[in-house]
Amino acid sequence: MAAQNLAETALDGSALLRNEPVQARSTARLAGLLDAAAAIIDEIGYERLTTAMVAERAGASIGTVYRYFPDRIVLLQSLSARFLQRFIEHANTAVRDPKHENWGEAITAVIDTIVDAFRSEVGYRSLRLGDVLDIRPAASAHPGSAVVAQTIAAGLAERFDLPTKDLAFHVEVGIDVADSLLARAFAHERNGDERFIVEARSIVHSYLVTVYGESVKG
């Protein structure tokens, strides 16, 4: 499943835009609004974000914001979907990188991808994959970490012949643990507290070893 479709599945369609852009100019305007929202979130967190702030930061009218987003919740969900889409692409690349000779190296690379997102993706450390949003999802919705886990599990099974039964679940547990520790690592330090980053790698690896045994060369 393509990254964009996976991101939409995670939000159960709730992040669909009021008017989906079809022209390059409209697409650029939408990207500008999301960039503005990300920058504001990076400064003050997602809880205080308003559509008026986004309009002012983007140099757009409030009507332009509402043309695409009926409210701030859909705006946040759409930004989360963009984070999720990008992260799925990067995680998939990391898992399938031929330089990784075993699943342990691949999982470490995925965690490092999360670290890179915290460090370089504007607004990511506050909103992350959207699972932090205090919104009760639809019954058919999937958390962002679950969608990411599906992609990672598929790559691990294909490259390292890991059993597929419950693999996505175990990877999701690892992703959630890593996310919690890395959120703590980046809570007050822009570059992250290395102690928590190291522990995130170690704890996730140790957990998966209890299920699949020590990783060996593929």
CATH of the domain at 95: 1.10.357.10
pLDDT digits (tens, 9 = 90+) for 74-87: 899 899 989 999 99
At 144 the pLDDT is 85
**Is 30 inside a domain boundary?**
no
**Is 32 inside a domain boundary?**
no
The C-alpha atoms of residue 148 and residue 10 are separated, in whole angstroms, by 9
**Is 158 inside a domain boundary?**
yes
At 131 the pLDDT is 73
At 9 the pLDDT is 47
Contact at 8 Å (CB) between 177 and 200? yes
Mean pLDDT for the stretch of residues 14-34: 68
Residue 122 structure tokens: 């504007």
At 142 the pLDDT is 74
At 216 the pLDDT is 65
Contact at 8 Å (CB) between 97 and 51? no
Which pairs from 95-102 meet CB under 8 Å and 24+ separation? 95/151, 95/152, 95/155, 95/156, 95/159, 96/155, 96/158, 96/159, 100/159, 100/218, 101/217, 101/218, 102/160, 102/215, 102/216, 102/217, 102/218
Confidence check: pLDDT of 13 > 60 = no
- Eight-state DSSP code of residue 45: -
**Is 61 inside a domain boundary?**
no
Confidence check: pLDDT of 11 > 70 = no
**Is 62 inside a domain boundary?**
no
**Is 199 inside a domain boundary?**
yes
The Cβ-side half-sphere exposure at 24, using a 13 Å CA radius, reads 0
Of 33-37, 50-54, 68-72, 207-211, which gets the smallest average pLDDT? 68-72
Q: Which residue has the higher pLDDT, 133 or 190?
A: 190
The total domain count for the chain is: 1
At 92 the pLDDT is 94
**Is 34 inside a domain boundary?**
no
Contact at 8 Å (CB) between 115 and 192? yes
Q: Residues of the chain with pLDDT > 70: what percent?
A: 83
At 5 the pLDDT is 53
Range of the domain at 206: 3-15+80-212
**Is 201 inside a domain boundary?**
yes
